[in-house]
Structure 1
Amino acid sequence: MTLALDDNIYNQLLTKFQPKIIENEEEYEQVRHLLLNLISKQDRLPEETAMVKLMATIIKDFDAKQPQPEPASPQEVLLHLMSANNRKQADLVGKIGSKGVVSEIVNGKRSISKAQGKILGEIFNVYPGVFI
């Protein structure tokens, strides 16, 4: 069931917040701040809920237009996790292969197999699919 909005209250909110298409990060942060304030409000009026939906839509639109980073390669994921967890190549020797195999994987000369991905997932406590 949709509640009817009070035009006067909704117009006051529109005047106060003046929603518009977000053009840059500064405007994004302003709208985000206003949205968070409205979301955290206890007994929100139906008009304020409508404003929350409008602001969320505006933010989603801005987010959708932002460039997305290229997905990391399995090797890049491995290198990042090794660095973040203070692991060395030697820590992987015997777990995913010989010293030579580990070196080739770390240097991008060899792909990570499903079995190796599963082991790496267990070692780093991540989904094994990120290595394949």
Structure 2
Amino acid sequence: MTLTFNSDIYSQLLSQYQPRIIKTEDENEKFLEPVEELLSRSHLTSEEDALLELLVKLIEDFEEKHYQLNVSTPRSRLKHLMEARSLEQSNLVKILGSSKIVTKIINGELEITKEQAQALGKFLHVDTSLFLLE
């Protein structure tokens, strides 16, 4: 099955949410709401996935600039997405290979590989780069 991307639908989503550079905490909170709503869905359209990716990037950029003490890591992003979607470690076993690997990644004993990041991105409908060190 080939997923198609409808520019008109994406334009409607952009018009509805009006994403832009986040400059205040209130704006950040405003954009967190649709992100959490999108993350709670089990299936996203290509257009919703693109919007989610954009909103997450805008939020990350704001938080990176304003919350230096709480720097996001691939592991913390994974844990956040798991929490937002009510996923358990057992839900990631098929994605990452084994329960031992999942536990080591969650505990910070192993870094997420490029292949694992791709699998997680596909499974969670987010950009692979969220799980890779920059």
Q: TM-score, normalised by structure 1?
A: 0.48
Which protein is richer in helix relative to its size?
Answer: 2
Task: Compare relative contact order (CA 8 Å, sep 6+) and give the higher one, 1 or 2.
Answer: 2
